[in-house]
């Protein structure tokens, strides 16, 4: 009996240790800062004519350009895989930058998105082509906008207006954004990275509350 007990302990101990340390790594992981100080959205207005900002928000930032129809499927991908899981987090938001004059297209897409989840944390924000280009260039990424001021890539911005991403991705190495046309990339890489960033701020909030109690 003792022999089997010892063998059982020797077999289970390494597995238990591995699970413990693996879990600890995931729980305390942080997402690398790729670019500091992304430009604030000072000159943009939402469909309601209100301002929108990156500061003090965790933002999925997109650039869908003047032809929203070409990005409709991408918006659905993001809504199903990312937005529905996270929109109830108080400081989480989606912001899609569009050129002025595309408001009616945005209203039509917003109505479709409401069938997936409430759009209280999803904003279409409108500005000039120059304003959109300025924000995009401040990301300092290796991605480009097409002539319609659009890209299928979306970007994860933290509360301090830093671009978060991956600096050692297995496939791409340095990874600035996520291709919303690719379900696998959204479902795996982007979903994981959003979880990591939200967990980072949850830990910070928990620590802050604990310190206040002391």
CA dist 84 and 86 (Å) reads 6
**Residue-level pLDDT at 56:** 96
Ranges of each domain in the chain: 33-213
Tens of pLDDT along the chain (214 residues) come to 555 554 455 555 454 444 433 433 334 478 999 999 999 999 999 999 999 999 999 999 999 999 999 999 999 999 999 999 999 998 999 999 999 999 999 999 999 999 999 999 999 999 999 999 999 999 999 999 999 999 999 999 999 999 999 999 999 999 999 999 999 999 999 999 999 999 998 887 665 455 444 4
CATH fold, domain 33-213, is Glutaredoxin (3.40.30)
């Amino acid at each position: 009996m003792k022999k089997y007990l010892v063998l059982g302990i020797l077999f289970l101990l390494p597995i238990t240790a591995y699970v413990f340390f693996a879990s600890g790594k995931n729980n305390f992981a942080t997402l690398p800062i790729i670019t500091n100080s992304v430009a604030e959205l000072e000159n943009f207005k939402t469909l309601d004519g209100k301002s929108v900002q990156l500061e003090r928000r965790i933002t999925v930032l997109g650039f869908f350009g003047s032809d929203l129809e070409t990005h409709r499927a991408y918006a659905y991908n993001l809504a199903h895989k990312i937005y529905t899981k996270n929109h109830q987090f108080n400081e989480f938001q989606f912001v899609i930058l569009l050129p002025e004059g595309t408001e009616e297209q945005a209203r039509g897409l917003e109505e479709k998105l409401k069938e997936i989840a409430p759009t209280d944390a999803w904003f279409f924000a409108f500005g000039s082509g120059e304003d959109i280009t300025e924000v995009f260039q401040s990301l300092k990424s290796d991605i480009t906008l097409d002539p319609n001021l659009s890209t299928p890539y979306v970007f994860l911005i933290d509360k301090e207006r830093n671009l978060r991403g991956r600096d050692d991705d297995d496939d791409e190495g340095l990874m600035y954004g996520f291709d919303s046309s690719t379900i696998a990339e959204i479902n795996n890489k982007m979903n994981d990275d959003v979880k990591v960033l939200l967990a980072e701020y949850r830990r910070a909030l928990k620590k802050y509350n604990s310190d206040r109690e002391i």
